[in-house]
Amino acid sequence: MSRLSASVILILLGLSFSFSQENQVKWTKSSKSLGNGEYELTFAGIPNEHWHMYGVNDKGKAFEIVFDDEKLVKVIGKISQSPQPKKYFDDLMGFDREEFAGAATFKVKVKYSGKEDKKITGYIDYQTCVDEEHGGICQFEKEDFSFEFSSPKIEINEIKHEENSEIVVEDSSQNIAVLIDSTEEDSAELTVSQAELDEDIEIETDTDISKESLWMIFWIAFGAGLIAIVTPCVLPMIPMTVSFFMKGSENKAKGRRQAVLFGIFIIIIFVILGTAVAFAFGEQFSNWLSTHWLPNILFFLIFMFFAAAFFGMFELTMPAWLINKSDKHADKGGFMGVFFMAFTLVLVSFSCTAPIVGSILVFSAQGEFLIPIVGMAGFGLAFALPFTLFALFPRWLNNMPKSGGWLNSVKVVLGFVELALALKFLSMPDLTYHWGLLNRDIYLALWIAIFSLMGIYLIGKIKFKHDDDLKYIPVPRLILAIFTFGFVIYMIPGMFGAPLKLLAGWIPPEKTHSFDLRSIMRETVKNSGKGDIMYDGLCEKPKYDEHLEIPHGLQGYFDLNQALECSKNTNKPIFVDFTGLACNNCRLMEENVWNREGILEMLRDEYIIVSLYVDDRTKLDEADWTPADVSKDGRVKKTIGDKYSDYQARVYGENSQPKYYILDHTGKKVIDESVGYSTEENFRNFLKKGIKVYKKKNKAKAEEKKE
């Protein structure tokens, strides 16, 4: 048979097949405005299983974009395509071809010259073929499109879609086409499987966990507020303030009302402070604040400054003019007078409360928008509580502890705590930039020294500037000293590689330890007889494993492409772990949940693990950058952390860690649920459900192939 006749027969077969079959490629269309009447149109397509598409430069004219009104729409430049297709010479057709193995994305820039109706319509004309072992048939297909530009600005990478349609977000920096939702058939199948699974596997939503986190922040701040009360600047103010309300009013009822109002104003002042921090350092800055060297070095210096103030090196004071001005407004009485009296109290107590309030705000500023507001509400409530209660029940004043040297001891103990916390902020950039200045053993050595000195101070062997002579050790002080020395003894085994689960997230990870016996043993087991590292359960050597790791000796990847490819080869689902080197909750999950019985085995045997670090500052090769036209903020992503932080926000619409998803080898979610900082039971159910749904889908596909 001649080459020409073979081509004619193939084309005729394709045409007849196309009239009788539905389209084999699912398309998602999106657009964005470039200004001056120019637009970028994006067409992302995913062919059905065993089918493939052809590229723009294919000599067979296998992909074209046709506009209905070519007079109003002018194409600027050439159509771009990604990933790069496979190029080969087709002996049967007699010309060069470009073929995609799977999903493909095409982009074209156009200029619209219409003045009234900003609407671009047309269709995609393309060819798709099925593998020879599944019929070897080709068909020509068309996909209509319509873009309306009612708004001059369209969100970058925004993808319009119909309900139950397949959504693709294409990342040209990784040549990844990730499925976010499922097709109508897959949605139906998933609904059935979920209905069957929900009877015995339930997964909490992250909303519940977030609420628990907010409550935890509230109670921690509330405890800090109670501590602030027993400082030299605040405790003596309680009887003075209460006496003012009781004596300076016409009757006791009025005084009590004013005292309650006084407490409410204190809470409001602190909440306003928290709200200001929330607006200044919103959630969008959390990753930068947590990992960049500049803010963390600044926070480190601030905490060292606070510690020095608590130790008595100097006094923190507000400007006298500000206090005097507020005090004058307080003397006027009435509603505003009570407010300014509360404001004056906050200013006068600044030298003792500033380090505590500053510490809460520094930590909370690195989280969600609500955290600093909730934190200051908790602190303000605890701070205002004694003033209100003692005003309502003045007889309680007789039972108040007397002022004395013990108040300064409270400040000094807080100074030791501030000193220890300062190291945490120095540790964060040290981890993300891989400076190697504050490894785990050095960090622990400093903490052991700090808390040992704190214990020695508590038993009266060290004296600071404003301390009284300690004639005997009070029982509360002795108990605190016992717990302090117990904490020091607990940390000592960590110098030799002990895991120290109670401190997970607060100290650097085990990989940074200079002499970790457990890691040495794991490396010895992984070494083959020839001295090569064996990566059990993996398909190839992971990228970036020189300085990144997965805990508990688990093997996995740090590059999504590698995980997708290995999942395809091993037929295992992918456990996606969005994590960070400076993520406290990530370490807590790994140390307290991942290693539980059953969970560790599932992660090791049933999944391909990929840990995507959102804060690592390692520079990528230029070929692995995320280009500006793909990233969410329109900036090139040149580091591992920037790349995957942008990827998580762009694809999943989230920017919190830890965050876990389960995907298949195409990047499609196996189950709709995702979990973050979670309980052991919830995390185990999440993994079980992922395995169960994945196997069920594979079984259904196998049965479909047999039919």
Rounded to whole angstroms, the Cα distance separating 396 from 495 reads: 49
Measuring CA to CA, how many Å separate 698 from each of 102, 109, 116? Answer: 19, 40, 51
Burial-class residue 678 by CB neighbours within 10 Å (0-12, 13-18, 19+): buried
Q: Are residues 220 and 139 in the same domain?
A: no
**Residue 174, in any domain of the structure:** no
| Band (280; pLDDT cuts 50, 70, 90) | low
| Whether residues 218 and 143 fall in one domain | no
Q: How many other C-beta atoms can be found within 10 angstroms of the C-beta atom of residue 215?
A: 12
Q: Is 48 domain-assigned?
A: yes
Is 670 part of a structural domain of the chain?
Answer: yes
Among 287-301, 361-375, 376-390, 545-559, the range of highest mean pLDDT:
545-559
Question: Domain for residue 524, yes or no?
Answer: no
Check residues 614 and 466 and name the one with the higher pLDDT.
614
213 and 347, same domain (yes or no): yes
Please check whether residues 573 and 702 belong to one and the same domain. Answer: yes
**Is the residue at 502 inside a domain?**
no
Instruction: Return the residue matching tokens 């205002």.
Output: 384
**Do 145 and 216 belong together in one domain?**
no
| 172-195 pLDDT per residue, tens | 444 444 443 333 334 334 444 444
Instruction: Indicate the number of domains in the chain.
Output: 3
Domain C-terminal end among 385, 407, 438: 438
- Biggest CA–CA distance in the chain, Å, is 114
pLDDT computed for residue 316 by the predictor: 62
| Same-domain check for residues 600 and 655 | yes
Compute the mean pLDDT over every residue in the chain, rounded to the nearest whole number: 75
Q: Which helix (H) or strand (E) holds 97?
A: strand 95-99
Place of tokens 């330890």: 513
Residues whose CB is less than 8 angstroms from the CB of residue 103 and which lie 6 or more positions away in sequence, other chains included: 44, 45, 46, 47, 168, 170, 177, 666
Whole-number percent of the chain with pLDDT over 90: 14
Is the domain of 142 the same as that of 226? no
Q: Does residue 12 register a pLDDT over 60? A: no
For residue 576, the model assigns a pLDDT of 95
**Per-residue pLDDT tens digits for 501-534:** 788 777 887 777 776 555 555 555 445 444 444 4
Same domain, 668 and 570: yes
Any idea what the CATH number is for the domain that residue 637 is in? 3.40.30.10
Query: Residue 601 sits in which domain range?
Result: 529-706
- Is residue 521 assigned to a domain? no
**Residue predicted with more confidence, 162 or 287:** 287
Q: Do 215 and 98 share a structural domain?
A: no
pTM metric for this prediction? 0.54
**Domain limit, last residue, from 125, 143, 160:** 160
Same domain? For 234 and 87 the reply is no
Q: Which of 13-17, 18-22, 145-149 has the lowest mean pLDDT?
A: 13-17
pLDDT in tens, 662-675: 999 888 999 988 89
Distance CA 348, CA 571 (A): 66
Last residue of a domain, one of 105, 128, 160: 160
The residue type found at 276 is A
Residues 275, 364 within the same domain? yes
User: Measured between alpha carbons, how far is 424 from 61 in angstroms, rounded to an integer?
Assistant: 60
Residue 178: φ, ψ to 5°: -105, 130
The CATH number covering residue 153 comes to: 2.60.40.1250
Residue 406: inside a domain, yes or no?
yes
Write down the pLDDT at residue 155.
Answer: 34
Residue 425 and residue 294 share a domain: yes
- Comparing 59-63, 238-242, 285-289, 523-527, the range with the smallest average pLDDT is 523-527
Q: Output 530 or 303, whichever has higher pLDDT.
A: 303
pLDDT in tens, 578-590: 998 877 778 888 8
Q: How many helices (H) and strands (E) does the chain have?
A: 20, 16
Write down the pLDDT at residue 171: 43
CA dist., res. 645 & res. 578, Å (int): 8
More confident residue, 8 or 643: 643
Residue pair 309/316 in contact (Cβ under 8 Å)? The answer is yes
Is residue 337 one of the residues assigned to a domain?
yes
